[in-house]
């Protein structure tokens, strides 16, 4: 995991570690036993066995690094969620540090009512287990859609909770960096306001005035200064502003058919208040959104200022008049599409093998022609040419700068692995085909609504509006999704996916094909 670098024509060309420590191949190798076990404790010390304290139940969800299960505390019978992270997938030192930091931040934020409570963390030879509060009420958008009646006032109540989480994080020196509707769950199905922020995997501690450069987040929600690699906690307010725009209109403010198109729209910063339903939305709501989506971070509202805005305050001016039903319909489609892409991306992520990791090690050795343990600019340039890359010298310089975090002028093995290991292969034919076949259970060449339903059950995903998925993706209106339609959907912008784990067309694909 690390920094993402985009070339001048918008392609993601390199991933760099945000850590400064240098590692040699032999040091990297000490991180694993045979069979994938870690030689040292990820958590830094031995912990009690989770199976002595909890009984693990059915699967709730699947992610790139592990699986979330229902679990029950043996001594009390209370139910919790257990996120089990597969240690063999923690390849680099940075991966391990990310897990440790996520746990530290969850403990640091413990006690705030709208942040999921961590119960404890445990480790065994194969997994790191994070036991936390169970949120069984579903996702934010799903609840809105199910309720039917929806108004500006309701949106104001929800964004007040979300921005309250941002303010709590910032007051405790934490920047979230990946706020999005999928990262807010409801504790139960009866309380619309039991929202909890659940995912702190990209969160970091920060100090006042500290500047961050690694590009993280999700395309629709990313702030312009993040894309420009010069940002601070103000980026969280931008992201909350994007969520508010979606809550009121049903669509993202910065939209395009491709990921690069989305980034271009974000950097341009034009906010559409002319299309439906905006003519019927209050001026106060628009004023707040403008303040949250101000392109200049220094002029953007702070979380505290947002919470004091007239539209959001208790007994504020947000009207309770029902919004246009089209807003709910759009929210429904947006949520459904997100979930289908999430499932497909999981299938692709799971395809990463030890052999592919070994291939990266060989790629490093091939580029390091003088066997110094580090790659110089000339070696990188020559190596990329051998692998078929057509990057310009200026782009290779940018790539070098991004990967060479300690500014030594070279890229060592640890930086190289951290920079490339998480590049998924979304646009490689065999991976798209593999994901398509996962859904197409009967091998008919089409994905049907029954097959989508089956896939949702396998992945532990509920409340997916499958008719809307079919309707949105099915270009020829035959009631099913063929391979061409599936590929077109996957390439329309990577939804719900952090850019830390985004695609690399120029380098990785050519390298693996050699």
pLDDT in tens, 305-343: 999 999 998 666 676 666 656 665 655 666 666 667 767
Which one is catalytic: 178, 199, 214, 236? 178
Q: What is the pLDDT of residues 288-304, one digit of tens each?
A: 999 999 999 999 999 99
- What is the C-alpha separation between 361 and 412, in angstroms, rounded? 12
pLDDT of residue 281: 93
- The HSE-up count of residue 353 (CA atoms within 13 Å, CB side) is 6
DSSP letter assigned to residue 135? -
Q: What is the pTM of this model?
A: 0.62
Please say if 320 is a catalytic residue: no
In CATH, what number does 140-318 get? 1.10.510.10
Q: Kindly indicate the confidence band of residue 509, based on its pLDDT and cuts at 50, 70 and 90.
A: very low
pLDDT of residue 4: 38
Mean pLDDT rounded to a whole number for the chain: 77
- Does the structure show a pLDDT above 50 at 502? no
* Cα–Cα distances in angstroms (integers) from residue 194 to residues 12, 134, 296, 379, in the given order: 38, 12, 33, 55
State the CATH architecture for 3-28+352-425+501-513.
Orthogonal Bundle (1.10)
Query: Largest alpha-carbon pair distance within the chain?
Result: 70
Domain boundaries, the chain: 3-28+352-425+501-513, 31-133, 140-318
Quick one: 31-133 is in which CATH superfamily?
Phosphorylase Kinase; domain 1 (3.30.200.20)
Percentage of the chain lying above the pLDDT 90 cut:
36
Q: Which of 27-36, 40-49, 255-264, 460-469 has the lowest mean pLDDT?
A: 27-36
Q: Is 217 exposed, middle or buried (0-12, 13-18, 19+ CB in 10 A)?
A: buried
Residue 146, SS3? helix
Q: Kindly indicate the confidence band of residue 389, based on its pLDDT and cuts at 50, 70 and 90.
A: low
- Does the structure show a pLDDT above 50 at 33? no
Q: Kindly indicate the confidence band of residue 29, based on its pLDDT and cuts at 50, 70 and 90.
A: very low
Instruction: Label each residue of 319-387 as H, E or C.
Output: CCCECCHHHHHHHHHHHHHHHHHHHHHHHHHCCCCHHHHHHHHHHHHHHCCCCCCEECHHHHHHHHHHC
Q: Determine if residue 332 is labeled as part of a ligand binding site.
A: no
């Amino acid at each position: 995991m690390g920094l993402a670098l985009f070339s001048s024509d918008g392609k993601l060309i390199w991933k760099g570690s945000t850590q400064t420590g240098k590692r040699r191949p032999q040091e990297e190798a000490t991180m694993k036993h045979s069979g994938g076990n870690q030689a040292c404790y990820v958590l830094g010390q031995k912990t009690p066995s989770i199976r002595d304290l909890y009984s693990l139940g059915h699967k709730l969800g699947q992610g790139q690094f592990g699986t979330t299960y229902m679990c029950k505390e043996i001594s009390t019978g209370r139910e919790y969620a257990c996120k089990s992270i597969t240690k063999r997938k923690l390849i680099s030192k940075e991966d391990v540090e990310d897990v440790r930091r996520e746990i530290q931040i969850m403990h640091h934020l413990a006690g705030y009512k709208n942040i999921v409570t961590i119960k404890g963390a445990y480790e065994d030879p194969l997994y790191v287990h994070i036991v936390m509060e169970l949120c069984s009420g579903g996702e934010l958008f799903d609840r809105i859609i199910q309720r039917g009646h929806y108004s500006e006032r309701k949106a104001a109540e929800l964004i007040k909770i979300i921005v309250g989480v941002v303010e709590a994080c910032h007051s405790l020196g934490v920047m979230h960096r990946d706020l999005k509707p999928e990262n807010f769950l409801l504790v139960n199905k009866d309380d619309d306001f039991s929202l909890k922020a659940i995912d702190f995997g990209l969160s970091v501690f920060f100090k006042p005035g500290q500047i961050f450069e690694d590009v993280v987040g999700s395309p629709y929600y990313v702030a312009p200064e993040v894309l420009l690699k010069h940002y601070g906690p103000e980026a969280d307010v931008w992201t909350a502003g994007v969520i508010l725009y979606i809550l009121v209109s049903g669509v993202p403010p910065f939209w395009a058919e491709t990921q690069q198109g989305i980034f271009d729209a974000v950097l341009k910063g034009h906010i559409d208040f002319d299309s439906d339903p905006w003519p019927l939305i209050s001026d106060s709501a628009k004023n707040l959104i403008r303040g949250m989506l101000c392109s200049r971070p220094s002029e953007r509202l702070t979380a505290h200022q947002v919470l004091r805005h007239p539209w959001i305050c208790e007994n504020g001016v947000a009207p309770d008049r029902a919004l246009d039903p089209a807003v709910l319909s759009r929210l429904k489609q947006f949520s459904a599409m997100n979930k289908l892409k999430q499932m497909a991306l999981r299938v692709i992520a799971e395809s990463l093998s030890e052999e592919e990791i070994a291939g990266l090690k060989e790629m490093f050795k091939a580029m390091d022609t003088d066997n110094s343990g580090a790659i110089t600019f000339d070696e990188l340039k020559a190596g990329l040419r051998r692998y078929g890359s057509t990057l310009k010298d200026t782009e290779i310089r940018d790539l070098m700068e991004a990967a060479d975090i300690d500014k030594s002028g070279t890229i060592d093995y640890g930086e190289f692995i951290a920079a490339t290991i998480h590049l998924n292969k979304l646009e490689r034919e065999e991976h798209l085909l593999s994901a398509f076949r996962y859904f197409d259970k009967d091998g008919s060449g089409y994905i049907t609504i029954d097959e989508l339903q089956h896939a949702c059950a396998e992945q532990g995903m509920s409340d997916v509006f499958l008719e809307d998925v079919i309707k949105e993706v099915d270009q020829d209106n035959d009631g099913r999704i063929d391979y061409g339609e599936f590929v077109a959907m996957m390439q329309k912008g990577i939804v719900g996916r952090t850019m830390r784990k985004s695609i690399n067309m120029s380098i990785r694909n050519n390298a693996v094909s050699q």
